[in-house]
């Protein structure tokens, strides 16, 4: 039997199929190569200039035309992640919602700040988009309180304010600082935006707050670095310095209300109180005790500088503005929030260095913060009791010198406690350092209570700290004849213990 020959149609289909498959493969390879080229082009040109940005580009929406991803992230700072309620009364302008009151959560704050505006209203923080509205509407900036325009340094777009004032920038900055807040805030239209952190021509990180430059110059000089210049800062340093323009401890100096960083002696809380004591500065007089008090601001940068992350070059932006990929482009997250807000965020921040699961990392951080909170509760109780004891001592006409000494201990305990309250990481930025501050609070409060009784704690020196205090054995009583049945034997008189405290009035703390 002969084999049937394939038909003409079948002979034609086979090469046609090969042609189609080959064409599809070729098209696929071409599309892949085209995609690779496009991705490479995206990586080399991450943004397209739609508008020309200048030093007058104050509206972030203009920057958003060139940098839509970053602008979208900045707008997301308006997302409320905490509890908000309507303001009472409802303002005619501005945001109508407000976050939870910290004063209601912990009434000890009210006692600590008696006589100061923070005792009237102090709320949970929220995103940068609200910083100007929240400052304008908080009771601390309303009559009868008289806050200066210097408050705008951290809650408004300063380049925009200085431009509105006009003239020389340095003179305009001085004008903003000393002008009453109710008037100065009229110059502000935006909270902190793109132009506060970026050079509009090069997009490089930049410093727009004169107080930071002055503070860093003093700090560097104290470390022996002469003629320090911000232009010498590395890009990694700038990723912390830009944030440190606002997230720091500061005060308003003199009648000019010049925003000043107390960094001459260093960045620790002890350096700060030594600085304030040396110049005789106080923020207010406590209305219950009469003590000359200090109000801590938000020393996030100074606290971070004492921690392990700073020592290893991990900056604010690494944890609060992590990179994310959009196509071939690497973009930093401009929503600026907690690394713990989601597993995705933990993965993008903590897990770039720590080889743990998201759940384990979150538990680790929360354990640190929980221990900090427990210790802070103890120190806060000690401070609260000291304040109440000073009030009682004044009512009882206790020795004025003893009261004055206790007021000095209150000043230290209150400032150190406030330092931990106003710092935003709940102990995480520098765990050991933060616990040390809390221990200092408890110690100062207890020394203040002792001062009210005329007691001075002995100063521990190198010569005495390693010498144990050993009780002297009581000599055995002399042998006596056996007692007559029914007779009463008088007990031996106890050996009196020598006091370890002197009765002299307690001196004020040195720091």
Contact 450, 456 (CB under 8 A): yes
Domains defined for the chain, CATH in brackets: 60-353 (1.10.1130.10)
Residue pLDDT, tens place only, 271-330:
999 999 999 999 999 999 999 999 999 999 999 999 999 999 999 999 999 999 888 889
**pLDDT score recorded for residue 480:** 52
Q: Percent of the chain scored above 70 by pLDDT?
A: 83
**pLDDT score recorded for residue 493:** 46
Close Cβ partners of 347 (under 8 Å, ≥ 6 residues apart): 358
382-404 average pLDDT score: 98
Would you call the peptide bond into 46 cis, given omega within 30 degrees of 0 as the criterion? no
**pLDDT score recorded for residue 494:** 42
Contact 207, 158 (CB under 8 A): no
Quote the distance between the C-alpha of residue 261 and its chain's center: 15
Between 70 and 31, whose confidence is greater? 70
**pLDDT score recorded for residue 13:** 64
Residue pLDDT, tens place only, 21-46:
767 777 667 666 555 545 555 545 55
Q: Does residue 108 carry a pLDDT above 80? A: yes
Which runs of consecutive H residues, i.e. helices, occur in 119-180?
A: 131-137, 158-165, 169-178
Structure tokens at 335: 């929503």
Between 503 and 374, whose confidence is greater? 374
Lowest mean pLDDT among 35-49, 175-189, 274-288, 434-448: 35-49
Q: List phi, psi (to 5°) of 81.
A: -95, -15
Q: Which residues pair with 99 in a beta bridge?
A: 84
Structure confidence at residue 211 as a pLDDT band (50, 70, 90): very high
Rounded Cα gap, residues 104 and 442, in angstroms: 23
Highest mean pLDDT among 1-10, 382-391, 485-494: 382-391
Contact 282, 292 (CB under 8 A): yes
**pLDDT score recorded for residue 285:** 98
Lowest mean pLDDT among 154-168, 278-292, 471-485: 471-485
Structure confidence at residue 420 as a pLDDT band (50, 70, 90): very high
**pLDDT score recorded for residue 95:** 86
Residue pLDDT, tens place only, 119-143:
999 999 999 999 999 999 999 999 9
Structure tokens at 3: 């084999």
Report the SS3 class of residue 11. helix
**pLDDT score recorded for residue 478:** 62
Lowest mean pLDDT among 9-13, 106-110, 422-426, 499-503: 499-503
The overall average pLDDT reported for the chain is 89
64-74 average pLDDT score: 96
Q: Does residue 19 carry a pLDDT above 90? A: no
């Amino acid at each position: 039997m002969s084999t049937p020959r394939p038909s003409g149609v079948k002979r034609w289909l086979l090469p046609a199929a090969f042609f189609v498959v080959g064409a599809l493969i070729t098209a696929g390879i071409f599309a892949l190569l085209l995609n690779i080229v496009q991705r490479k082009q995206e990586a080399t040109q991450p943004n397209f200039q739609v508008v020309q940005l200048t030093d007058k580009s104050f509206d972030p929406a203009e920057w958003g035309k060139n940098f839509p991803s970053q602008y979208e992230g900045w707008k997301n700072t308006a997302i409320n992640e905490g509890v908000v309620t309507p303001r009472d009364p409802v303002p005619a302008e501005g945001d109508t919602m407000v976050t939870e009151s910290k004063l209601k959560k912990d009434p000890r704050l009210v006692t600590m700040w008696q006589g100061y505006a923070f005792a009237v209203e102090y709320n949970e923080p929220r995103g940068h988009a609200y910083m100007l509205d929240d400052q304008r509407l908080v009771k601390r900036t309303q009559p009868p309180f008289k806050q200066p325009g210097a408050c705008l340094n951290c809650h408004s777009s300063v380049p925009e304010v200085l431009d509105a004032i006009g003239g020389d920038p340095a003179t305009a900055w001085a004008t903003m600082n000393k002008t009453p807040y109710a008037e100065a805030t009229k110059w502000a239209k935006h909270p902190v935006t793109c132009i506060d952190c970026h050079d509009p021509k090069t997009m490089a990180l930049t410093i727009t707050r004169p107080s930071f430059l002055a503070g860093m110059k003093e700090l560097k000089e104290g470390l022996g670095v002469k003629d320090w210049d911000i232009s010498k800062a590395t890009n990694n340093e700038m990723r912390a310095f830009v944030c440190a323009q606002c997230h720091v401890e500061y005060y308003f100096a003199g009648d000019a209300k010049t925003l000043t960083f107390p960094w001459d002696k260093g960045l620790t809380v002890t350096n700060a109180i030594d600085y304030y004591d040396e110049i005789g500065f106080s923020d207010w007089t406590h209305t219950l005790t009469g003590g000359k008090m200090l109000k801590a601001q938000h020393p996030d940068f100074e606290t971070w500088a004492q921690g392990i992350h700073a020592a290893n070059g991990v900056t604010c932006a690494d944890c609060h503005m992590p990179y994310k990929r959009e196509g071939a482009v690497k973009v930093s997250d401009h929503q600026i929030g907690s690394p713990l807000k989601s597993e995705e965020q933990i993965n993008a921040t903590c897990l770039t260095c720590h080889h743990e699961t998201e759940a384990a990392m979150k538990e680790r951080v929360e354990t640190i913060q929980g221990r900090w909170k427990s210790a802070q509760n103890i120190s806060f109780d000690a401070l609260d009791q000291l304040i109440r004891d000073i009030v009682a001592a004044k009512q009882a006409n206790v020795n004025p010198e003893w009261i004055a000494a206790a007021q000095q201990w209150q000043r230290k305990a209150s400032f150190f406690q406030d330092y931990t309250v106003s710092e935003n990481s709940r102990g995480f930025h520098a765990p050991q350092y933060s616990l040390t501050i809390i221990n200092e609070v408890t110690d100062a409060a207890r020394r203040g209570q002792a001062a009210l009784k005329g007691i001075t704690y002995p100063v521990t020196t190198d010569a005495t700290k390693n010498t144990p205090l050993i009780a002297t054995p009581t000599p055995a009583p002399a042998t006596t004849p056996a007692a007559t049945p029914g007779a009463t034997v008088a007990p031996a008189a106890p050996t009196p213990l020598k006091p370890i405290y002197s009765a002299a009035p307690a001196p004020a703390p040195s720091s």
